[in-house]
Amino acid sequence: MREVAPGDIVFSFCDTLIRAIGIARSYCFESPKPAEFGTAGPNWNQVGWRVQVEWKTLIHQVRPKNHIELLRSHLPARYSPLSEVGNGSQSIYLTDLPEMLATVLGDLIGPEFHALIASASEEDTGTEIEAKSVPLLDEWEEYLQHGIEANDRLGPTEKEALVQARRGQGLFKKRVSQVERFCRVTKVDNPAHLIASHCKPWRDSTDDERLDGENGLLLTPSIDHLFDRGFISFEGNGDLLLSPVAHRESLKRMGVTVDERVNVGAFSNGQKGYLEYHRESVFLQRLKKR
Q: Which residues of the chain form beta strands (DSSP E)?
A: 9-14, 17-24, 29-32, 47-50, 53-62, 195-198, 216-219, 232-234, 240-242
pLDDT score for 35: 65
The reply to whether the predicted model has a pTM over 0.75 is no
Pairwise CA distance, residues 250 & 29, whole Å: 20
Top-confidence residue, 70 or 290: 70
In percent, how much of the chain has pLDDT > 70?
88
Spatial contact of 262 and 235, defined as CB atoms under 8 Å apart: no
Integer Cα distance of 38 and 44 in angstroms: 11
pLDDT at 48: 72
What pLDDT was estimated at residue 26?
80
CB count within 10 Å of CB 20 equals 17
> Domain-by-domain residue ranges, the chain?
9-122, 151-281
Please state the rounded mean pLDDT for residues 196-208.
95
Inter-CA distances, 249 with 125, 253, 269, Å: 17, 6, 33
The pLDDT assigned to 190 comes to 97
C-beta of residue 189 within 8 angstroms of C-beta of residue 181: yes
Q: Of 40-54, 153-167, 181-195, 267-281, which range is least confident?
A: 40-54
What are phi and psi for residue 222, nearest 5 degrees?
Answer: -70, -40
Mean of pLDDT values over 69-87? 91
| Amino acid at site 73 | S
How far does Cα 106 stand from its chain's mean position? Answer: 27
The reported pLDDT for the residue numbered 143 is 82
Residue 288: the pLDDT is 43
Higher pLDDT, 198 or 142: 198
pLDDT at site 285? 79
- Region at 245 (left for phi over 0; alpha for psi -120 to 50; beta for the rest): alpha
Phi then psi dihedrals of residue 82, to 5 deg: -125, 150
What is the average pLDDT value for the chain, to the nearest integer?
Answer: 87
**pLDDT greater than 90 at residue 179:** yes
Distance CA 186, CA 50 (A): 31
Q: What is the pLDDT of residue 289?
A: 42
Sign of CA dihedral 51, 54, 57, 59: negative
Radius of gyration of the chain (CA): 22
Distance CA 218, CA 10 (A): 38
pLDDT of 27 reads 78
- Tens of pLDDT, residue by residue over 243-271, are 988 889 999 999 999 999 999 999 999 99
Dump strand ranges (E) for 7-159: 9-14, 17-24, 29-32, 47-50, 53-62
Flag whether pLDDT at 131 surpasses 60: no
DSSP, collapsed to helix, strand or coil, labels residue 240 as: strand
Q: Evaluate if residue 107 carries a pLDDT over 90.
A: yes
Task: Write down the pLDDT at residue 128.
Answer: 44
Q: Which helix (H) or strand (E) holds 66?
A: none
- Across the range 267-289, mean pLDDT stands at 86
Among 119, 112, 7, 116, CA closest to 53? 7
In which band, very low, low, confident or very high, does the pLDDT at 36 lie, cut at 50, 70 and 90?
low
Residue 284 has what pLDDT? 87
Across 33-53, average pLDDT = 68
pLDDT given at position 93 = 83
**What's residue 290's pLDDT?**
38
Q: How high is the pLDDT of residue 281?
A: 87
